[in-house]
Amino acid sequence: MSTAYEGAVADLIAELGQLPGVGPKGAQRIAFHVLASDTADVARLAEALIQVKARVRFCVVCGNVAEAEKCRICVDERRNDTQICVVEEPRDVVAIERTREFRGRYHVLGGAINPINGIGPDELRIRELMTRLADGTVTEVIIATDPNVEGEATASYLSRLLGSMGLAVTRLASGLPVGGDLEYADEITLGRAFEGRVTMRA
Amino acid sequence: MRTYRDEAVVLRTHDLGEADRILTMLTREHGLVRAVAKGVRRTSSKFGGRLEPFGVIDVQLYSGRNLDVVTQVDTLAPHGRSIMADYGLYTTATAMVETAARLTDVEHEPATQQYLLLAGALRALADRRHASTLVLDSYLLRALAVAGWAPTFASCARCGQDGPHRAFSAPMGGALCTDCRPPGAAAPAPETFLLLGALLAGDWSVADGSDERHRRESSGLVSVYLQWHMERQLRSLRHVVRA
Ligand SMILES: [Zn+2]
Ligand SMILES: [Zn+2]
């Protein structure tokens, strides 16, 4: 696709094509939109891209995106320390926060177990989770991985691992459509899945 | 536009764009097929849940310009759910589908025997009919045999002399007599050779009766043999939790 264009335009189309959710046609459309935009608008976009990499990092406690050492949720003293909700990605934290169903803490794994892609338990932030659970403050771990194969397999791995620790391990209710992404669930469905969460057997 | 219908096992899926998914399937009549399923990650999708790995489906596709497109799906055997609820079964099934994809890597080239073997192995796994480590090793040996790389476990792989023999070498094709054995060949227990032969032949009464030690030794030899025949390392094999 990009061979039809030269130099800077081709470079931009190639870069945009690397983004998730952007196909070759979309990359072309965005590239020409950028070309047609004001220089000031383009500069703001470029600056936003640079700043997000410079300023945003990952929370040392939970792995969520943060602008300081710890994220907004981890420093919030009003949150319930006895519950941890385990999710795959920071975007899932946003999805669950929108439901207002959950007032505990989070733990972001950084993905799901996917052996064909070389991702086993050691490649995720599971050791960090075990460290957080060690002092006994947490009494319930809510597993909110995606309702697809990798997410379910990650949930069964975690329930096996946590089953012997004497805490409640729950999974979001199965009202969530199988094969979907958590981030696509609407607030009401996700909220209901939270309320109706079920205990996992190790 | 050409439409076709086939039975298939879903090997793996990749997200594409906002809501689509690319499926890699092993079909009964059309070999390995990569196809796009549109909109299946949205919660409103009718057939998202039917397109998960390890399941057997009845699928209708049309040949698109780049990728085939899924137009209809029915579930024939929803193995995915019971497999993914058990971490050991999940890692085992993952090693199977990765092997199947490697052994049939030319798209649309019929591989019916590979299809039947994989579908049968996934069913045995989901039904918990045998220990998962046995199902895996039996599947791997038989899939390699169908691909033309059958090992020998009784007669000598080099000179054909009748066994039982005491040495094993993956590069040389299996069991070796004392004259043919190269230096450094493995020396498995006689029971392990027996178990390997039973796994290759599908003799489950012998396999089910085997003990832990010989199962472990067999698994080691099978994975060495498998890796020897694969161009690249199988990524999922080291993640398998055996049971
Ligand atoms: Zn945090
Ligand atoms: Zn010989």
A22 touches chain B (CB under 8 A): yes
In a domain, A66, yes or no: no
Assess if residue A107 is contained within a domain: yes
Q: Are residues A107 and A170 in the same domain?
A: yes
Rounded to whole angstroms, the Cα distance separating B148 from B200 reads 13
Considering the domain architecture, whether residues A50 and A116 belong to the same structural domain is answered as: no
CA distance B56 to B47: 13
B238 chain-A contacts, CB cut-off 8 A: 120
Residues A78 and A169 in one domain: yes
Tell me the mean pLDDT in the region B119-130: 94
Question: What is the C-alpha radius of gyration for chain B, rounded to an integer number of angstroms?
Answer: 19
Quick check: is A155 in a domain?
yes
* A159 lies in some domain: yes
> pLDDT, tens digit, for every residue of B82-99?
898 899 999 999 999 999
Please tell me the predicted confidence (pLDDT) of residue A176.
60
pLDDT value of position B106 = 87
Instruction: Quote the pLDDT of residue A179.
Output: 59
How much is the average pLDDT of B113-139?
A: 96
Nearest to B91 among A20, A115, A177 (CB): A115
> In this complex, is the C-beta atom of B238 within 8 Å of any C-beta atom belonging to chain A?
yes
CA distance B122 to chain A (A): 15
| CATH number, domain containing residue A13 | 1.10.8.420
**Phi, psi for residue B109 in degrees, rounded to 5:** -95, 115
Q: Is A166 touching B (CB cutoff 8 A)? A: no
Q: Which of A153, A179, A184 sits opposite B90 (nearest CB)?
A: A153
Q: What pLDDT shows up at residue B221?
A: 96
User: Ligand nearest A74 Cα, by number?
Assistant: 1
Q: Tell me how far apart the alpha carbons of residues A169 and A141 are, in angstroms, rounded to a whole number.
A: 5
B136-163: per-residue pLDDT in tens? 999 999 999 999 999 999 999 999 999 8
Same domain, A51 and A112: no
In a domain, A61, yes or no: no
The domains located in chain B, with CATH, are 1-129 (2.40.50.140), 131-243 (no CATH)
Same domain, A45 and A143: no
> Cα dist. A35→A8, A29, A39, A43, A139 in Å?
11, 10, 9, 12, 54
Q: What is the ipTM of this complex?
A: 0.83
Q: Taking 70 as the threshold, does the pLDDT of residue B107 lie above it?
A: yes
Across the A:B interface, residue pairs with CB atoms under 8 Å apart total 78
Contact A115 B95 (CB under 8 A): yes
Give the dihedral sign, CA A175/B87/B72/B56.
Answer: negative
Pair (A118, A25) in one structural domain = no
**Quick check: A93 pLDDT over 70?**
yes
For chain B, say whether A120 makes contact (Cβ under 8 Å): yes
Q: In terms of domains, do A37 and A79 share one?
A: no
Domain annotation covers residue A22? yes
Q: In the structure, what pLDDT confidence band is assigned to residue B173 with cuts at 50, 70 and 90?
A: very high
Q: For residue A51, what are its two tokens?
A: 């700043």
Residues A125, A183 within the same domain: yes
Question: CB–CB of A158/A143 below 8 Å?
Answer: yes
Cα separation, A90 vs A105, in Å, equals 13
Distance CA B69, CA A43 (A): 40
Contact (CB<8Å) B84/A181: no
Cβ–Cβ contact A156 with B under 8 A: yes
Residue A108 C-alpha to ligand 1 middle, in angstroms?
Answer: 9
* Residue among A118, A157, A189 whose CB faces B43 most closely: A189
Query: Ligand 2: distance of its center to the CA of B179 in Å?
Result: 6
Residues of chain A found within 8 Å of residue B84, distances taken between Cβ atoms: 149, 152-153, 156
How high is the pLDDT of residue B82? 85
Average pLDDT over residues B44-55: 78
Domain of A167, CATH number, reads 3.40.1360.10
A6, A11, A36, A69, B164 from A1: Cα distances, Å: 11, 12, 20, 42, 60
B19 part of contact set with chain A, CB < 8 Å: yes
Site from A91, A149, A156 to mutate, B interface, most B CB atoms within 10 angstroms: A149
Same domain, A125 and A184: yes
Query: By residue range, what is the domain housing residue A39?
Result: 2-55
Instruction: Tell me what pLDDT residue A120 has.
Output: 94
For the ranges A178-192, B95-109, B216-230, the lowest mean pLDDT is seen at A178-192
Q: Is residue A143 domain-resident?
A: yes
Q: How far is the CA of B150 from the centre of ligand 2 (A)?
A: 17
Domain shared by A90 and A159, yes or no: yes
Considering the domain architecture, whether residues A51 and A77 belong to the same structural domain is answered as: no
**Considering its fold, how many domains does chain A have in total?**
2
Picking from A1, A25, A89, A116 by the largest number of B CB atoms within 10 A of its own CB, the best residue to mutate is A116
Q: What is the pLDDT of residues A45-87, one digit of tens each?
A: 999 999 988 888 999 999 999 999 999 999 999 999 999 999 9
Say if residue A182 is in the same domain as residue A114. Answer: yes
